[in-house]
Amino acid sequence: MVGTVNHMGRGGNPAAIQHMKDLASFINSNQGKPVLLEGQNFSGRTALLRRWVGEWSRLGGRAIYVGPSVQQSISSLVPTVRSELQLHLTGSRHGEALLHLAESFGLGRCFDQSPFTLSGGEQTLLVALCKLGLEPALLGFDGAMEELDRQNAGRLAEVFSSPAAERAATILTMNGYAEDRPLDLATRVQVSDLTPGAGGRAPLFDACQFRFTAPNEAGCLEAEGISFSYTPGSPVLRNISLRLEPGHIFSLEGRNGAGKSTLARILVGVLPLQRGWIAFNGRAINPWKTPGQIAVMHMQNPDVQLFADTVAAEVADLPACSSGAAASMAGVLDMMTEHPFDLPFVLRKRLTFSTVAHLSRPWFIFDEPTLGQDAAACDQMVAVLQRIAEGGAGVIVISHSREFIRRVKAQSLRLENGCLNKPGTTTS
Amino acid sequence: MGRDYSYYALCRLLDPHVLSTPETFKAYPPSTAAAISSTEPREKWPGSTAGPSTRAAFPTPMATISARATAMWPIKHRRKSPQEFRRYFPPFYLRCRLSSRRQKDHLENAMNTDHDLEAASGGVALRKGALLMATIPVGILLNLGLGTLVHLLRLPLFVDAVGTVVVTLLVGIPAGIATGVLSFLLGGLLVNPVMPYFSGTQAAIAIFVGLIARGGGFRSVPKTILTGVLLGVVTATVSAPVIVKLFGGITGSGSGVITAFLLASGHSVLKSVFLTGVSCEPVDKALQCLLAFWLLKSLPRKLKDRFANAGYLQRNFSK
Amino acid sequence: MWFASPPPLYRGLAVLLALYGAILANTVNLLAAGLLVVTSALWAQGQLRTFAKFAFTLILPVGVGLVAIWGFIRQGAPGPAAETSMRAGLLFAAVTTLRLALLGAVFLAAVVNLAPVRLVDLLQTFGIRRRTLAIIVSTLNLWPDFRRRVEQVFAARCARGLMPDRRLGTRVRQLPYVVRTLFVSALGQALERADSWESSGLIERLDDLRNSPSTSDYSRVAGFVWLALSITWGVAATLRLFST
């Protein structure tokens, strides 16, 4: 069932109260089932969730907000996954059930590891189980579900439909394409913001003016026999070989933790080449010695990629004509004196994406560029990637959004158990 | 309508069995309706069907202190911040502080609950306990991380007090002392077992930086360098006795050469160590103060706002 | 090893007495005997390699320096009342080196043999609660996360092409930017986390969380032995001080 609620204005206007009443009654009538708030970026969903959580906590109830980066919600008060579960689930009515769920998801073999060593999907599941164990009245999951693959998304649905979640009002937020939404997860509610003039227009991600600067030398990227392991004895990548032609877009696919980011980092030069060789345009290179020269990468977490005091300084190290273009593409032209960390998550992601897209290199790697972006922004990103490929460079994109991969017409490279399947045409 | 209604909308979610329509909410006796919108925990609400909370019940903030405080504290000052209260009636505040830190936090919480909805909606609570719990580990890790890094790079510096300076400027002197002492205790565990014996130096750094910052010693780059130089002198003074007693004057770092030279020319050991310190430490500490200054200048506005009521940021870094 | 882990209270008292004695003791024999006892405790705990590394990297240079300065250059012990002879200088160097080694070894023996899981128990027995407990425990748990974050920021600089090669100079030039990004993102995340601790009531839960009381891991006999040894040591040091 999909309902439509119009959210008009913020603050104490009668319209906002109207909205809260409608949404509250909707959530009430759906008690026990999570509610998924859909809408464009800047439609006010995060503000609404945070406001509710804040007010609820002020009134003395228990309300929990989990933001887009799940790492922040791991408590870090205890060293192992087992003690994290103990900390949250002791005294809960559904503690046993949640613990059984954890074990059935395969978290049992990670019980003695630090929670920070788990993969993103496992961390999301752990956080969901723990927060439900605290028996909150309101649980808000803001965009924390976008990096989950199919299996983990199904597991999360199982968690939210378990008896432990019956008394909690679970509100989820998701962005991206509608085709990627897990249909049976939650009841969907469309929220749109009709605020003429209140707070200004929402910043748009606009790729019409994007001009790609062709690199000096474009060439084919080959690799043979790449193996890598973080700890000796447990290889993450086994004997990977590939040959990627420029001018095309490739997508690295695989489950959470399959080694996609690892391969990307080796190609860029962030991780050393333990075994195998890499060649660019026929000559052997070692990206570890000169990182970021043949291939640049846009990483998943924008917070580790912002290095300056102001947005202007952030785009200043691009070539002169591109810095203004990068800022206008990300929609931050009127925020040039703001600190990058003052921008919301969506804009930080767009800014880092723009900065990388305006560089001039033979190969580009984008790791989850669509996190937190709504469908319109995703389409613009598709246009950007296609224009980069037309300009003669090669693009590798890592994304869990099947719709995005389909629209960008990428050739898929599937990583399973550290081995690469042969490149073929995209699967729909 | 208005404020009441938003509470009603939330209350419906919290306890749908009790308050199912706006009429039932309005029909509620005013005292119980007020109790619902107070800061009482949910379990204490009339008619609540929730089970006992796992949280221990704290005494309501004003009950323990308020009788005497409100009697002696003029009404026009009642809405001011905890800092104002402290300044206005210091002896009473001190007595409150000695009685229980928990009560003091509750007092501050009670005074801060008067902030408006917008502040609450951001989820940003300016509670001092949360600031301490957040900033001190970051300060400790900054101390240890930078110290280890500089040691690995074999530079002739000891950049190991940046975290202490930053935390003192952000939160205050006690937090800075805690950061310095804890970081050297943990450093003894992780890095070098003799570090804990130098915790006194860190405490002195925190106290000195706090006192100087109160007078605005970090307002500009030249002032920061001067502060760093003075800090170096203070550090040399405080750590000289420890070095003499523990190390006999030689710490095994490059500055031992200077000490050797001074000792060979016949000065007493305490004087040689002090002079060595005075020649090496000011440069190191000036560098650390500059680094701290630069880090705090680059804080985003949202983080600076959170520290507005604590520490010395307002006096030194507000534009 | 039964000798390795006395209960925390006995351990704390023994350590304080050992420190008191170490600061007071002035003769080579006494300090050497104390060092021998503490080294055997370290051997029982399996920490001998850590101590050897510390001795080699820190104590040895200091010892060499002390011998050079007090033994050969100054040829005497410090202080106006001391005699000036090479022997006195060498003796002072030996005493100071031994004392340094002893202080380091005592600290190692006292705290190193603690698994992080039991750290919470240990701190709770010392009466540390709530916020202080949260601060100490979260620092230890965040250390690997911090390291990972440093790697990520360095990786991001490489991946953007801002670190074009791996020379030392280039890497040092990255440092200010890395530290700034690290600090700002870590501080923001820490504040959010602390807010969520307070609102979820996790601090109180940490107090209530008790692992199964692992008293079997602590040996009271070891505690008595440690305490007895350190009392002897403290008394001996005091007597020696007053007899000379």
Note whether C10 contacts B: Cβ–Cβ < 8 A: no
Say whether both C107 and C223 belong to one domain. yes
Distances (CA, A) of A332 to A213, A296, A323, C71: 21, 23, 11, 69
In a domain, B81, yes or no: yes
In a domain, C3, yes or no: no
Angstrom distance (rounded) from CA B48 to CA A399: 46
| Range ranked top by mean pLDDT from A22-36, A98-112, B2-16 | A98-112
Say whether both B80 and B157 belong to one domain. no
Q: Which domain holds residue C19?
A: 8-114+218-243
Distances (CA, A) of A240 to A265, A416, C159: 14, 11, 21
Burial of B301 (0-12, 13-18, 19+ CB in 10 A): exposed
Say whether both C43 and C158 belong to one domain. no
Angstrom distance (rounded) from CA B208 to CA B218: 12
Judged by CB atoms closer than 8 Å, whether chains meet at A56 and B301 is answered as: no
Nearest to B306 by CA among C184, A219, A136, A313: C184
Q: How many structural domains is chain B composed of?
A: 3
Q: How many structural domains is chain C composed of?
A: 2
Angstrom distance (rounded) from CA A271 to CA A264: 9
Angstrom distance (rounded) from CA A173 to CA A171: 7
Residues B235 and B160 sit within 8 Å (Cβ to Cβ): no
Give me the residue from C61, C143, C194 closest to B134, CB to CB.
C194
In a domain, C213, yes or no: no
Q: Which of the following CATH numbers is that of domain A221-420: 3.10.180.10, 2.60.40.3140, 3.90.1150.110, 3.40.50.300?
A: 3.40.50.300
In a domain, C2, yes or no: no
Instruction: Give the pLDDT of residue B8.
Output: 54
Residue B303: list chain A partners with CB under 8 A.
341
CA angle C109, C112, C113 (to 5 degrees): 90
Confidence class for position A23, pLDDT limits 50, 70, 90 = low
Note whether C66 contacts B: Cβ–Cβ < 8 A: yes
Residue A212 makes CB contacts below 8 A (sequence gap 6+) with A357, A360, A387, A388, A390, A391, A393
Judged by CB atoms closer than 8 Å, whether chains meet at A24 and B298 is answered as: no
Site from C167, C173, C199 to mutate, A interface, most A CB atoms within 10 angstroms: C199
Say whether both B161 and B259 belong to one domain. yes
In a domain, B99, yes or no: yes
Say whether both C91 and C13 belong to one domain. yes
Predicted confidence pLDDT, tens digits, chain B (319 residues): 344 554 555 555 555 455 556 666 566 555 554 444 434 444 454 444 444 433 333 333 333 333 444 444 444 444 445 554 444 444 444 444 434 454 444 444 444 433 333 333 333 445 677 788 889 999 999 998 888 888 777 777 788 899 999 999 999 899 999 999 999 988 887 777 778 888 999 999 999 999 999 888 888 899 999 999 999 999 999 999 888 888 777 776 667 778 878 877 878 888 888 888 888 889 999 999 999 999 999 999 888 888 887 778 877 776 4
Q: Which domain holds residue B74?
A: 61-114
Count CB-CB contacts under 10 A for residue C217. Answer: 13
In chain C, the residue whose alpha carbon lies closest to the alpha carbon of A365 is C159
In a domain, B303, yes or no: yes
Which chains contact A through at least 3 pairs of Cβ atoms less than 8 Å apart?
A: B, C
Say whether both B202 and B308 belong to one domain. yes
Judged by CB atoms closer than 8 Å, whether chains meet at C144 and A116 is answered as: yes
Give me the residue from A73, A269, A361 closest to C158, CB to CB.
A269
Say whether both C203 and C224 belong to one domain. no
Say whether both B162 and B284 belong to one domain. yes
**How does DSSP assign B174-203, residue by residue?**
HHHHHHHHHHHHHHHHHT-TTGGGGHHHHH
Note whether B7 contacts A: Cβ–Cβ < 8 A: yes
In a domain, C38, yes or no: yes
Judged by CB atoms closer than 8 Å, whether chains meet at B133 and C138 is answered as: yes
- Structure token digits, residue A111: 């019980």
Nearest to C107 by CA among C21, C9, C18: C18
B-contacting residues in C 76-115 (Cβ below 8 Å)? 78-79, 92-93, 96-97, 99-100, 103-105, 107-108, 111-112
Say whether both C107 and C197 belong to one domain. no
Give A379-397 pLDDT, tens digit per residue.
Answer: 999 999 999 999 999 999 9
Say whether both C54 and C131 belong to one domain. no
- Structure token digits, residue A197: 């003039």
Predicted confidence pLDDT, tens digits, chain C (244 residues): 666 677 777 777 888 888 888 888 778 888 888 888 888 888 887 778 878 888 888 788 888 888 887 777 777 777 666 667 778 888 888 888 888 888 888 888 777 655 555 666 667 666 666 778 888 888 888 888 888 888 899 899 999 888 888 888 888 888 889 999 999 999 998 988 888 888 788 888 887 775 544 555 667 787 888 888 888 888 888 888 787 6
Global pTM reads 0.79
Q: Where are the domains of chain A?
A: 2-193, 221-420
In a domain, B94, yes or no: yes
Say whether both B241 and B149 belong to one domain. yes
Say whether both B194 and B268 belong to one domain. yes
Alpha-carbon torsion angle B37, B38, B41, B43, nearest 10: -50
Distances (CA, A) of A12 to A50, B116, B197: 16, 12, 58
Say whether both B83 and B177 belong to one domain. no
Query: Residue A223 belongs to what H/E stretch?
Result: strand A221-228
Residue C177: list chain A partners with CB under 8 A.
307
Residues A185 and A289 sit within 8 Å (Cβ to Cβ): no
Say whether both B39 and B153 belong to one domain. no
Instruction: Give the pLDDT of residue B100.
Output: 45
Instruction: Give the pLDDT of residue B70.
Output: 41
Say whether both C142 and C154 belong to one domain. yes
Give C43-102 pLDDT, tens digit per residue.
Answer: 887 778 878 888 888 788 888 888 887 777 777 777 666 667 778 888 888 888 888 888
Say whether both C237 and C183 belong to one domain. no
Residue A17: list chain B partners with CB under 8 A.
1-2, 5-6, 9
Angstrom distance (rounded) from CA A54 to CA B13: 15
Say whether both C110 and C225 belong to one domain. yes
Angstrom distance (rounded) from CA A71 to CA A59: 27
CATH H-level superfamily of A2-193? P-loop containing nucleotide triphosphate hydrolases (3.40.50.300)
> Alpha-carbon torsion B32, B37, B39, B44, what sign?
positive
Give A178-234 pLDDT, tens digit per residue.
Answer: 888 776 677 777 776 533 334 456 788 888 888 888 888 888 999 999 999 888 888
Site from B6, B19, B293, B317 to mutate, A interface, most A CB atoms within 10 angstroms: B6
| Three-state secondary structure of A248-308 | CEEEEECCCCCCHHHHHHHHHCCCCCCEEEEEECCEEECCCCCCCCCEEEECCCHHHCCCC
Judged by CB atoms closer than 8 Å, whether chains meet at B251 and C62 is answered as: yes
Residue C164: list chain A partners with CB under 8 A.
290-293
Residue A339: list chain B partners with CB under 8 A.
298-301
Residue B300: list chain C partners with CB under 8 A.
184, 188
Say whether both B297 and B162 belong to one domain. yes
Residue B66 makes CB contacts below 8 A (sequence gap 6+) with none
In a domain, B54, yes or no: no
Site from A55, A66, A351 to mutate, B interface, most B CB atoms within 10 angstroms: A55
